[in-house]
């Protein structure tokens, strides 16, 4: 079974630039998550999709971050404009259902460096 795919794996940009990350979840998984992990901390949930609808985006900085999951499969996370504090690993995960008892499968992440 193929895992969660993410690209790019690494990205370096200057502050105020824009960046986008892509995620392809495990086939058949209805729920997709984006997490931000700052060095030394646990992952923080940014947004959760159930199919193509948003379930939870309470931690998403909506003034600069946006995410979409068109057709309920792939998803993109965008930052515009980036700030220095956005330097982090951005993790995508997917699961069959939306409750926490559904095991989440994580991708390898995208490491973003904002200079």
Partner 1 sequence: DAKTTQPTSMDCAEGRAANLPCNHSTISGNEYVYWYRQIHSQGPQYIIHGLKNNETNEMASLIITEDRKSSTLILPHATLRDTAVYYCIVREDKIIFGKGTRLHILP
Judged by the rule CB under 8 A, the positions of this chain that interact with partner 1 are 4, 40-45, 48, 56, 91, 93, 99-101, 103-109
Choose between 87 and 104: whose C-beta lies nearer to partner 1: 104
For the bound state, the minimum distance from the C-beta of residue 16 to partner 1, rounded and expressed in Å, comes to 28
Token pair for residue 3?
A: 């895992």
For partner 1, the closer of residues 38 and 80 by Cβ is 38
What residues have CB less than 8 Å from 19, skipping those under 6 apart? 11, 13, 78, 79, 80, 82, 112
Q: Which is nearer to partner 1, 22 or 106 (CB)?
A: 106
Closest to 34 measured CA to CA, from 10, 55, 3, 11: 55
Compare residues 2 and 70 and give the one whose CB is closer to partner 1: 2
The 8-class DSSP code of residue 83 comes to: -
Q: How far is the CB of 53 from partner 1 (least distance, A)?
A: 16
Min. distance of Cβ 90 from partner 1 in angstroms?
Answer: 10
CA distance between the termini of the chain: 37
Strand order across the 75-79 sheet: 5-7, 19-24, 75-79, 65-68
CB of 81 to partner 1, least distance (A): 27
């Amino acid at each position: 079974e193929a895992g969660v795919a993410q690209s790019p794996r690494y990205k370096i940009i200057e502050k105020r630039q824009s960046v986008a990350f892509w995620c392809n979840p495990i086939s058949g998984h209805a729920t997709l998550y984006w997490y931000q992990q700052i060095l030394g901390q646990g992952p923080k949930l940014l947004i959760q999709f159930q199919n193509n609808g948003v379930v939870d985006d309470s931690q998403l900085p909506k003034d600069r971050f946006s995410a979409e999951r068109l057709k309920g499969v792939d998803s993109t996370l965008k930052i515009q404009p980036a700030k220095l504090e956005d330097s982090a690993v951005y993790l995508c995960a997917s699961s069959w259902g939306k409750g926490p008892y559904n095991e989440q499968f994580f991708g390898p992440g995208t490491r973003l460096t904002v200079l």
